[in-house]
Structure 1
Amino acid sequence: MNMKQTFSTGEVAKLCNVSIRTVQYYDKENIVKPSELSEGGRRIYSQDDLQNFRCVCLYKSLGFLLEEIKTVMQSQNPYELLAKTIVSQKEKIDEKVQLLIHEKERLLALYEQIEQTGKVEVESIEDMENLLVKKRTHRKTDIITYIFMGCYILILLIIFPIANFLSGIAPFIMYGIAAMILIGLIYYHAEVNAYVCTECRQKFTIGLWNDMVSLNGMKKGKYLKCPHCNHRGWFKDTYRD
């Protein structure tokens, strides 16, 4: 007849990759208690005890609090309670992730400001939040610009083939509409964007005509002349103050 395998405190600690003091502490806190004690008072853990201990280590690695683990292990319906605990832990993690994303956003905003201007211009949390609002708004305007530009290209693809089959004043009206839409897009782009000179680090804006005739290098930005130091180069667009 095979006897069930048992484990000492040290063996449980080794198999679960924890310290002996951790095994003793979990016993003291009634989280995982040994099935029996030897005549000398030494803890003797069964295979079920070892499995329970491994479950506790798993829950601990997932960020559960010991009180939560203890409640689950002592529950009459552990899986239902475990599911609720998992949902609660997920919500905590989601909150931490959002906080980390916001913290990263702040760090990137400061880094970009130093890269552009050579200094930090925010002096308080309120200044930082205002800066983030401006940057988010600028990202939205960029997306809107690209969407409208895509729509404009689609309109051109429709207008020009149709205009070729028309006679009289109709084609000129259609070309005029296309030109007005393009001017409107350029005007919007000029009104919502600013640029920072890579030489003097000063921010400046440009008008409709300058925006219309200047070269656009896509990711490189626009090829402009800084009104402050007269430096010419590629400037990436940024938010307006």
Structure 2
Amino acid sequence: MTAAAYQYADLPDASVVTTRALLTARENITDTVAARAMMCIHGGAGFGKTLAVNTCLRGLEPGEDVRRVTFRARPTARAVRYELFTALGLPGQPPRHPSEFDRLLKTALAERPRTFLVDEAQWLNGEAFEYFRYLWDEPSTRLAIVFVGGEGCHSVLRREAMLSSRIFIWQHFTRLTPAEVAEVIPLFHPLWADADPEDIAYADQHAAHGNFRNWARLTAHVRLALARTSRPRVDTDLLRWAFSRLGNPT
């Protein structure tokens, strides 16, 4: 699968590569949705969590109703209600009173099975997490919820005992190991396909550090360098120039 904008970089010809973490996420998400359960995918920034989850959700059974919600600040339960109202595409104006709003959401969520992808979940506080639990616990709703967030997401969820005890699967995304880098980066973009494995290892050690977002930024700069110099392939000089743009002078 090609990714026109891979990990926040406009990177033509980049591909989504099947890492061990992505394969595990695919299995975990499939099982969570089938069970109408909740799961948490967490890990450091740039490790490929959101990309993996979006890829896996697109591979679910046709007709699965997936809605994405994203929070950028500490939301209250009121803010969560409004975000869900928008994500579900409900008609009319949002109700003014919380009890009426809750009835409307529970009625909509009882219509058919739905899956929520809650991205940037590290911004959720206890009140917001509790509201998702409240909706999921409603017997008439048939919700599956995939929380995706940074390390803070895991910490906050663990503190919410009632919700944490209901999490079906926890998955921790980590950096690519050197062995994984050697295996998947040549598949990630054509410019690495014929690169010297030592240059790939050098790039990872000095700039990418097993982080897919770093690899995407580095690849974008190396691609520019190849085009401007007409060199046939990646070399150490090109890498050092790219490092300097990324704030890595070595």
TM-score class, shorter-chain normalisation, is: under 0.3
Question: Which has the larger Rg?
Answer: 1
Bigger helix fraction: 1
Compare relative contact order (CA 8 Å, sep 6+) and give the higher one, 1 or 2: 2
- Greater strand content: 2
